[in-house]
Amino acid sequence: MSTPRDDVDGWIRYHAEISFALSRERQSLESALIPVTAYILIAALECYRRHAEMITTIAAAMPPEEIGAMGRVPGNQIDGVHLWSIANIGQYGRKILATAGMLDPEFDFTYNATVRDFWQRAAGSFRGDDGHLQAWDSGGSVTPYTAFVAEILAATRPLDDDARRRTTRLNATLTSYLFLLYFDTRAGYQDTGPYMLPDGRVLLLRAFSKFGSSDFSWSTEIAAEIPYTMVLAAFVLRDVGVRVTDFGTSVTDPEDYLPHVEEVAWFSTATGTLEPIDDAGVDALFASVKDAQRRLYRLVAGMTRREKIDAGAYVYFSFLRPFAEVANVADHLDWTVPRDSLDLYPLLEAIESAGDIEDDGTPWYPPLA
């Protein structure tokens, strides 16, 4: 008979195996502009030491099942990557403390048991209780917006040369802008799919989130003129295989899917509804984001190393924030970063690279002490 400890250890092992595979699949070089490794490690320690208490507050305000279900409505960031982050980022903080011999067994069990309960309940609801908890479990299927497919298809239209050019440049510009806005992480744009259509084609949806003025302190200076803050792009594809990862990115066959896009639509989703954006709106969005991107690059380039680390650490630490916002308790929680990593901050901020990921036979995440 399994015990609560066995269940928690099994949950840690489950995520460790998936996270290791995903991380090896997506190894990346350190950014020349932003000290990514240092800020991830600091954020991970903050998440481990603080998230369980914050999650308890969030769950007391709204059941995790109701929060997860909100991810099936456009216009928020209850999505696969934010769910993955809740379960996994703090585990990297555990690795830091385990390596230093600083894990407290009692706290460690409480942390993991708290996060596990919240994550399982929210993740199952997000997926519509389809029997899976992550994209990995389902072979790469994430389809929270199934109920909106008919409405989306009613707004899509065939691509002529002008529309294809407009779509390609806006997609590329939003993607690169959000990558920098989120300090070299892809959490600002999330793919869902494949939504299989009766005629054999497939619908791929891409949510671009929180790209106007927001809780990101650096956004106010550069993004005030952007006319939309949450946008959903719909691509109807022919002869393309699609799977979606738990990092919210799509893997397509063929890799270059844009020539196979037959229809497209853009929607503003900030109100939780699908509001179609016409050609003039698409052009206005492109121009404003292009301008914001130029100003953002200059702003980030002018930051000190520590300012960049603290901003990036806030991005990762605040992956919990969308859940608090849906539960209406975000303003009651302390999002200050750094705060609880100050004892190890001088060591962690000096780290330049995590190095290559190798399989040395040890668990990717340490088991309970």
From the list 37, 18, 28, the residue with the least C-alpha distance to 309 is 37
Residue 283: exposure state from Cβ atoms within 10 A (0-12, 13-18, ≥19):
middle
Predicted structure pTM score: 0.96
Q: Which two tokens stand for residue 162?
A: 């002008």
Contacts of 82 (CB under 8 A, 6+ apart): 187, 319, 320, 322, 323
Given this model, what pLDDT does residue 22 score?
83
- What's CA 243's distance to the chain center, in Å? 17
Q: Which two tokens stand for residue 291?
A: 């301008």
pLDDT tens, per residue, the chain with 369 residues:
678 999 999 999 999 999 988 877 665 556 789 999 999 999 999 999 999 999 999 999 999 999 999 999 999 999 999 999 999 999 999 999 999 999 999 999 999 999 999 999 999 999 999 999 999 999 999 999 999 999 999 999 999 999 999 999 999 999 999 999 999 999 999 999 999 999 999 999 999 999 999 999 999 999 999 999 999 999 999 999 999 999 999 999 999 998 999 999 999 999 999 999 999 999 999 999 999 999 999 999 999 999 999 999 999 999 999 999 999 999 999 999 999 999 999 999 999 876 666 667 788 999 998
| H helix or E strand, kind and range, residue 323 | helix 321-326
Residue 250 β-bridge partners: 244
- What's CA 356's distance to the chain center, in Å? 23
Given this model, what pLDDT does residue 334 score?
98
Q: How far apart are the C-alpha atoms of 202 and 195, rounded to whole Å?
A: 6
Note whether 30 and 36 are within 8 A (CB).
Answer: yes
Q: How far apart are the C-alpha atoms of 104 and 207, rounded to whole Å?
A: 39
- What's CA 355's distance to the chain center, in Å? 23
CB atoms within 10 A of CB 347: 14
Contacts of 274 (CB under 8 A, 6+ apart): 74, 148, 151, 152, 155, 232, 267
Residue 184: exposure state from Cβ atoms within 10 A (0-12, 13-18, ≥19):
buried
Given this model, what pLDDT does residue 254 score?
97
Q: How far apart are the C-alpha atoms of 297 and 299, rounded to whole Å?
A: 5
Residue with token string 């939003």: 174
Given this model, what pLDDT does residue 31 score?
75
What is the per-residue DSSP string for 34-81? S-HHHHHHHHHHHHHHHHHHHHHHHHHHS-HHHHHHHTTSSSS--SHH
Looking at residue 122, its amino acid is A
Q: Which two tokens stand for residue 174?
A: 């939003």
Q: How far apart are the C-alpha atoms of 209 and 137, rounded to whole Å?
A: 25
Q: How far apart are the C-alpha atoms of 100 and 111, rounded to whole Å?
A: 18
Q: Which two tokens stand for residue 287?
A: 């121009």
Q: How far apart are the C-alpha atoms of 242 and 239, rounded to whole Å?
A: 10
Q: Which two tokens stand for residue 230?
A: 């949450």
3-state secondary structure of 336: coil
Q: How far apart are the C-alpha atoms of 48 and 89, rounded to whole Å?
A: 8
What is the per-residue DSSP string for 200-245? S-EEEEEEE---SS-SSTTHHHHHTT-S-S-EEEEEEESS-EEEE-
Q: How far apart are the C-alpha atoms of 127 and 67, rounded to whole Å?
A: 12
